[in-house]
Structure 1
Amino acid sequence: MRRVLFFLNPLLMQRRNRRALVEGLARQLRGEGCEVELQDTLSAHSAGEQAKDAVAAGFDTLFVCGGDGTLFQVIQGVAGSEATVGIIPFGTGNVLAQNLRLPRDPVAAFSLLRRAEAVPVPLGRISCKSPGHAQDRTWYFTIAAGMGVHAALMNLAPTGSGKRVGGRAAYFAGGFRLLLQHPVDPFDLELTLIDGSRRTLQASELIAVRVPAINVWRPGGNLEAPELQVAIVPATTRLGLAHASFHALLTGRSANGTNGSSRLPYPEYVTATQIACRPVQDHTYQSPLLVEADGEVIGLKRASITIAQRRLRLLWPR
């Protein structure tokens, strides 16, 4: 690394002398002859353009000092480029950092990243209807993307204040409230499986996953694989969704390993290359069908998900 940029989420730098910590990391690199700059993300959605500008300016390494949301925005600007990205975990979930086996301590994580190789990781790609845009927008993701009640959970605190105050407990409490209150609506789902066959069904939950683990949930994705691990809950009731969620999070039981005798659904896991989600025709929706990627609500109504041709050069300690 020769020219290095630290991207700082300013909302996460406000406590525990975090900014001074990052400045100390920058001094280490400067002492070794690197050209280093620090830059705050200007808004929740500006980091992509800032990262694109940084690549154009010749920065070869970008350290993202934030959480999964900050990283998601940065990826939009560096996907497919030769720039290398490292994650210094300051967020709430830090899901990607968890899957890279990075320590939660930022200094320890930085120490590992400096010795890590850059691995070209296939990115997920999702296109969906985004509010305020006439045409569908396309996003890249590294963790997961999908549609259903879980997407509404990501929309509980769009400013991030709930996460910063309550941490992971805020997600679990919010998820419990949603299971009790949020409409459980169906949507049409079409999957292209890895053997080329197609499958259609109605579902209440769909999550296309790239990583092996999302906190306590173990969907079994693979960051280096050119396909999507897909978790599905077929169209069901509120009780059915609670049943499937319980087994996904706590027991690991799935429809793949049951005999189908239960009246309540289990999560089902399939491997796919393409996914299309659409509203059910003539169904009245009490609440919009939301679409999320890497924990960020990005659209509504419909989504198309696949593996992108672009890759991300990710610092990954082995």
Structure 2
Amino acid sequence: MRRVLLFVNPIFDQRAGHRNAIGRIANLLRSAGLSVEVHETLSAQSAGDQARQGIEDGFDTILVCGGDGTVFNVIQGVAGTEIPVGILPFGTGNVLAQNMDLPRNPVEAARRLLQSTPRRTPLGRITLEVPDLPSDLSPSGLPRRMREKSWYFTMAAGMGLHAALMSASDGWGKRAIGRTSYYLAGMSLLLRHRIQPFEVEVTTTAGEVFCQRVCEAIAVRVPELNRWRPGGRLEEPSLRLATVDATGRWGLASASFQALARTASKNGSSASRGGAPEVRYTDALRVVCRPVADYNYLAAVLAEADGEVLGASHAVLDIAKESFYLLWPS
């Protein structure tokens, strides 16, 4: 670590306390003899391009001042390279930092990263069908065709109500009240959002293939997601898939509560008390999500990766050929 690009989400730079912390981090790195440049991410869509440009400009380390969403966008530009990425937690969830046992205080996290080691980390990949860009619209104003687009993810990706929750959390003041917004959005959606089924075709790490009709599917790469402990493994090239059989809103609420209450997860599933569905866990290599034939969907089922809602209806989740290097505290 000699020449460091410090990426800052401008949302955090607008707050006096965060701005002060970013200045302290830059000074801390410079006092350690490092060359540091602070760049704001221009937009979520451009962060990956900015990261690639930083690598071309000769930076040998990228540190991200932001939340999991900022990390997700930067990863799109560094995947497949050997440039290490460090996380400085400024966001709402900070799930990746949580799983690396980084301090919640970003200045203290920077101090820990000075004694860190880069670790090669496999990446998940989500592929969706998305419409062509607006500039490619037909004269009628409709997209000419659909195309496949892929994103890398580090923590989790999937389809179902949890993706709708990610979309709704901003409306519940995520930046102002933090993680509480997720719980408020979740309770609101359980009360009014129609729970719709979809199908998954799963290829397990043992090479078996099975199909399941579900209402939730989340492929996880980390041991913990806030209070939930699905048992993923960041350094292993596999997905820890959690699914809930197709059910209604109260069945999903019961399964979600039981998943949060457990301290560990096991492969397989069984009926819970009262016959309500449980969360089924499977170690997987590939998951195909698609609509149920002949089902009358009132709205498309949303898909997300690392908390970013990306599309709907169809998704393929697998392990990417590319990886990246993550700075872990010693």
Report the TM-score range of the alignment, normalised by the length of the smaller protein: over 0.9
Q: How much has 1:251 moved relative to structure 2?
A: 3.7
Give the TM-score of the pair, scaled to structure 1.
0.95
**2:190 matches 1:179:** yes
Residue number in structure 1 paired with 2:140 = none
Secondary structure of the residue that 1:130 maps to in structure 2?
A: strand
Could you tell which deviates more after superposition, 136-145 or 279-288?
Answer: 279-288
**2:276 matches 1:277:** no
Q: How much has 1:31 moved relative to structure 2?
A: 3.7
Secondary structure of the residue that 2:275 maps to in structure 1?
A: coil
- The one-letter code of the counterpart of 2:66 is G
8 Å Cα contact 1:191-1:276 kept in structure 2: yes
Of the candidates 316, 319, 322, which is equivalent to residue 307 of structure 1?
319
Distance in structure 1 (CA, Å) of the matches to 2:147 and 2:183:
34
Q: How much has 1:264 moved relative to structure 2?
A: 1.0
Distance in structure 2 (CA, Å) of the matches to 1:112 and 1:56:
27
Q: How much has 1:303 moved relative to structure 2?
A: 0.5
Q: How much has 1:131 moved relative to structure 2?
A: 4.7
Q: How much has 1:304 moved relative to structure 2?
A: 0.4
Against the structure 1 CA distance between its residues 255 and 21, is the aligned structure 2 distance closer, same or farther, given a 3 Å change threshold?
Answer: closer
Distance in structure 2 (CA, Å) of the matches to 1:292 and 1:259:
28
Residue number in structure 1 paired with 2:78 = 78
Distance in structure 2 (CA, Å) of the matches to 1:58 and 1:80:
16
Matches within 5 A, 1:1-318: 1-132=1-132, 134-157=146-169, 162-251=173-262, 256=268, 258=270, 262-318=274-330
Q: How much has 1:161 moved relative to structure 2?
A: 7.8
- The one-letter code of the counterpart of 2:207 is G
Distance in structure 2 (CA, Å) of the matches to 1:190 and 1:139:
20
Q: How much has 1:255 moved relative to structure 2?
A: 8.3
- The one-letter code of the counterpart of 2:225 is I
Could you tell which deviates more after superposition, 17-26 or 1-10?
Answer: 17-26
Distance in structure 2 (CA, Å) of the matches to 1:285 and 1:104:
41
Distance in structure 2 (CA, Å) of the matches to 1:205 and 1:240:
11
Against the structure 1 CA distance between its residues 120 and 280, is the aligned structure 2 distance closer, same or farther, given a 3 Å change threshold?
Answer: same
Q: Encode CA deviations 1:168-212: one digit per residue, 9 max, x unaligned.
A: 111000001111111111111100011111000111000000000
Give identity over the alignment, percent: 50
5+ unaligned residues in a row in structure 2: which ranges?
Answer: 134-145
8 Å Cα contact 1:230-1:271 kept in structure 2: yes
Distance in structure 1 (CA, Å) of the matches to 2:130 and 2:309:
9
Q: How much has 1:107 moved relative to structure 2?
A: 1.1
8 Å Cα contact 1:190-1:277 kept in structure 2: yes
Q: How much has 1:29 moved relative to structure 2?
A: 2.8
Distance in structure 2 (CA, Å) of the matches to 1:212 and 1:279:
29
Q: How much has 1:55 moved relative to structure 2?
A: 1.1
Distance in structure 2 (CA, Å) of the matches to 1:118 and 1:262:
48
The alignment yields a C-alpha RMSD, in angstroms, of 1.8
